[in-house]
Amino acid sequence: MDDNLFTKRLGEPVSGDQASESDAEGNILLRDTVLTDKLAAFNRERIPERVVHAKGWGAHGEFVPTKDMSKYTLAGLFTKVGKKFRTLVRFSTVAGGRDSADTVRDPRGFAVKFYTDEGIHDIVCNNTPVFFIRDPMKFPDFIHSQKKNPVTNLTDPNAQWDFLSLTPESLNQVTVLFSDQGIPYGFRYMDGFGTNTFSWYNARGEYVYVKYHFLSEQGLKNLDPAEAERIAGENPDFAGEDLRNAIARGEYPSWRVAVQIMTPEQAKTYRFDPFDTTKTWYETDFPLTEIGKLTLNRNPKNFFNEIEQAAFCPANMVPGTGPSPDKMLQGRMFAYTDTQRYRLGVNFNRVGVNASASPVFNYQRDGILADNPVNPINYYPNSMQDVRFSKRVRVVPPTVTAPVKREAPPIKDIDFVQPRDRYLAMDDAERERLTDNIAKSLSGAEKRIQYRTAALFYRVEAGYGTKVAEKLKLNLREVRRLSELSQAELEYATGRR
Ligand code: HEM
């Protein structure tokens, strides 16, 4: 075979690639399939960007369990101490498009894929331990409000703060986002949090609830907002470049992996709803247990193949692990593979980085770009083929004890406790920066939305609300008055139609 013999897409050699076949006057002939094939392929180079987390970077690596957790889970991933599990990680920002800047104030995605002997396990994290909402029903509205305005196509602080102030369960995450942590220096210098509550079960079928943490061994490092803005203009790919160069230099970033564990009995009485993604489990109540180490040590050879086409989903869970009554997790378990069937096509699971490292056997077939197994049987039950089913997989006991309902939990005092504790744990300088950042962003919203939001911060903590009100030059007495209203009264008083 000739090396690098130039060909068309199906292997037919071509005589040249720099000029189209044309007549003496310069007209190109339609029969020039060297040209039409080339343009047609080029015209289809872009696939839809991710509807969220469109801008991202990634690398390959390994996860090594360091503690045998078989008391709680039968998953090899968390019990086979010392075994190296191949991993893929994709880091991202959330709201911007595919070519937006890395150094913006936004949560960072931290999606981890583990290739195991029992299929793919994904933990699709953010760098923040909590989220803005606690019901997946609100996710499309939340994202609409944070991305571009449909009329102007501009980012819209009015919509952003309107939604957040009508969704006060977001205040805990808003406090994280506008703190120093809101603009990490780069992906190596941030932690990752599974955020959702998952379950683990052991060989005896006993189960517990868990939350995953990835703790940066590089330490945490953030960017000053003015510096971040400057870098965004100079080098929008700053964080991706930092990651790639570090790995190329052999400075492999690593994270200690830990879990918090809660028994079903503890879940019944914990003061915060353990399945509410706007709340953490305090580490003083549920300490971290270190279970392994994640290291990134290999840059992708082709970005599109290995990172753009990567498909992560929190529903990808190996035996010994499962979901919980966390509504957000359940919504996510549908959303990711659904969007991937659209973004990448129904057979996305066959693309290199998404493919299972262990054998796949079922009777699903066909669809666009199928590469079916050679098997004359395509139905079950059948009397031609022996099929085994796993005895290791358990259904986590259902917890349905009351009638099914569609009802958002009302906003209660407990919803203000964690953002208050978070604010009180900051020193004076951090509080100034937090409220500066909030005031700068909120100043782009209508006055009535500024009042509504400042009143909510006041309800979190009087000093917090006062600083936001003062920086926005709001009437403090009015903010205080509004903070004493119920959420419904507050919305009415600030012009919710
Ligand atoms: C109900 C709530 C949520 C819904 C419906 C949702 C939906 C989605 C969708 C549709 C994508 C695009 C996936 C793709 O195109 O491959 C995505 C990406 C992502 N989401 Fe969520 N999401 C939710 C909440 C969360 C939470 C709570 C976290 C973090 C704890 C999170 C972290 C991520 C990450 C890291 C990605 C990027 C994955 C990658 O790098 O390919 N999401 N989400």
Separation of 336 CA from ligand 1 center, angstroms?
Answer: 7
Query: Given ligand 1 and candidates 50, 93, 169, 338, which is best to mutate, with the most ligand atoms within 8 Å of its CB?
Result: 50
| Residue closest by Cα to atom 13 of ligand 1 | 336
HSE, CB side, 13 Å, CA atoms: give it for residue 451. Answer: 21
Q: What is the mean pLDDT of the chain?
A: 96
- Confidence tier at 1 by pLDDT (50, 70, 90): low
Ligand 1 atom nearest the C-alpha of 91 is 40
pLDDT (tens digit per residue) in 187-216: 999 999 999 999 999 999 999 999 999 999
Name the maximum alpha-carbon separation found in the chain.
85
Q: What local confidence, expressed as pLDDT, does residue 396 receive? A: 78
Helices 447-460 and 476-483 pack at an angle, to 10 degrees, of 60
Mean pLDDT for 343-349 is 96
Could you tell me how many residues make up the chain? 497
Is residue 272 a contact partner of residue 418, using CB atoms and an 8 Å limit? yes
Q: What local confidence, expressed as pLDDT, does residue 135 receive? A: 98
Q: What local confidence, expressed as pLDDT, does residue 496 receive? A: 87
Q: What contacts 483, CB < 8 A, 6 or more positions away?
A: 455, 456, 458, 459, 465, 490
SS3 of 448, please? helix
Catalytic residue from among 60, 126, 196, 202: 126
Q: What domains are there in the chain, each with its CATH number?
A: 1-45 (4.10.91.20), 56-132+181-354 (2.40.180.10), 153-166+416-497 (1.20.1370)
> 86: closest CA among 110, 113, 109, 65?
113
| Residue closest by Cα to atom 25 of ligand 1 | 332
112 Cβ below 6 A of ligand 1:
no
- Confidence tier at 400 by pLDDT (50, 70, 90): low
Encoded amino acid at 332, one letter: R
Q: 238 pLDDT exceeds 60?
A: yes
| Residue closest by Cα to atom 2 of ligand 1 | 136
pLDDT (tens digit per residue) in 458-485: 999 999 999 999 999 999 999 999 999 9
Q: 270 pLDDT exceeds 80?
A: yes
Q: What local confidence, expressed as pLDDT, does residue 290 receive? A: 98
Mean pLDDT for 307-328 is 97
What is the gyration radius of the CA atoms in the chain, in angstroms?
26
CA dist., res. 474 & res. 494, Å (int): 14
Encoded amino acid at 429, one letter: A
Q: What is the DSSP string of 97-151?
A: -TT--SSSSS-EEEEEEEEETTEEEEEEEESSSS-S-SSGGGHHHHHHHHSB-TT
SS3 of 458, please? helix
| Residue closest by Cα to atom 9 of ligand 1 | 336
332 Cβ below 6 A of ligand 1:
yes
Q: 34-38, 114-118, 489-493: which has the minimum mean pLDDT?
A: 34-38
Q: What contacts 442, CB < 8 A, 6 or more positions away?
A: 157, 161, 449, 450, 453, 454, 468, 472
Phi-psi region of 129 (alpha: psi -120 to 50; beta: other; left: phi over 0): alpha
pLDDT (tens digit per residue) in 405-459: 899 999 999 999 999 999 999 999 999 999 999 999 999 999 999 999 999 999 9
SS3 of 319, please? coil
Q: 245 pLDDT exceeds 80?
A: yes
166 Cβ below 6 A of ligand 1:
no
Encoded amino acid at 25, one letter: E
**Tokens 């709803």, located at residue:** 273
Encoded amino acid at 316, one letter: N
Burial of 119 (0-12, 13-18, 19+ CB in 10 A): middle
Q: 317 pLDDT exceeds 60?
A: yes
CA dist., res. 319 & res. 390, Å (int): 9
SS3 of 242, please? helix
CA dist., res. 66 & res. 79, Å (int): 8
60 carries an active-site annotation: no
331 Cβ below 6 A of ligand 1:
yes
Mean pLDDT for 289-318 is 98
Q: What local confidence, expressed as pLDDT, does residue 363 receive? A: 94
144 carries an active-site annotation: no
**Tokens 């959303």, located at residue:** 335
- Confidence tier at 398 by pLDDT (50, 70, 90): low
Q: What local confidence, expressed as pLDDT, does residue 416 receive? A: 98
> 142: closest CA among 121, 166, 122?
166
Q: What percent of the chain has pLDDT over 90?
A: 93
Catalytic residue from among 53, 60, 121, 213: 53
Q: How many helices (H) and strands (E) does the chain have?
A: 15, 10
> 408: closest CA among 131, 134, 160, 130?
134
313 Cβ below 6 A of ligand 1:
no
Angle in degrees, CA 145, 150, 152, rounded to 5: 110
Burial of 371 (0-12, 13-18, 19+ CB in 10 A): exposed
Predicted TM-score of the model (pTM) = 0.96
Q: How many other CB atoms are found less than 10 A from the CB of residue 406?
A: 6
- Confidence tier at 316 by pLDDT (50, 70, 90): very high
Q: 224 pLDDT exceeds 80?
A: yes
- Confidence tier at 402 by pLDDT (50, 70, 90): confident
Q: What contacts 82, CB < 8 A, 6 or more positions away?
A: 64, 65, 66
pLDDT (tens digit per residue) in 152-186: 999 999 999 999 999 999 999 999 999 999 999 99
Q: What local confidence, expressed as pLDDT, does residue 166 receive? A: 98
CA dist., res. 405 & res. 389, Å (int): 34
Q: What local confidence, expressed as pLDDT, does residue 68 receive? A: 98
340 Cβ below 6 A of ligand 1:
yes
Encoded amino acid at 339, one letter: T
Q: In this structure, what are the phi and psi dihedrals at residue 425, rounded to the nearest 5 degrees? A: -75, -10
Instruction: Give the helix/strand (H/E) hosting 453.
Output: helix 447-460
Q: 54-68, 375-389, 390-404: which has the minimum mean pLDDT?
A: 390-404
- Positive or negative, the Cα torsion across 221, 225, 226, 229? positive
Mean pLDDT for 117-126 is 98
Mean pLDDT for 333-355 is 96
Give strand pairing partners of 123: 112
156-164 LR contacts (CB < 8 Å, sep 24+): 157/441, 157/442, 157/443, 157/444, 157/445, 158/444, 158/445, 158/446, 158/449, 160/441, 160/445, 161/441, 161/442, 161/445, 161/449, 161/450, 161/453, 162/445, 162/449, 164/132, 164/453
Mean pLDDT for 334-358 is 96
Separation of 52 CA from ligand 1 center, angstroms?
Answer: 7
Q: What is the DSSP string of 54-107?
A: -SEEEEEEEEEE-S--TTT---GGGTSTTPPEEEEEEEEESSS-TT--SSSSS-
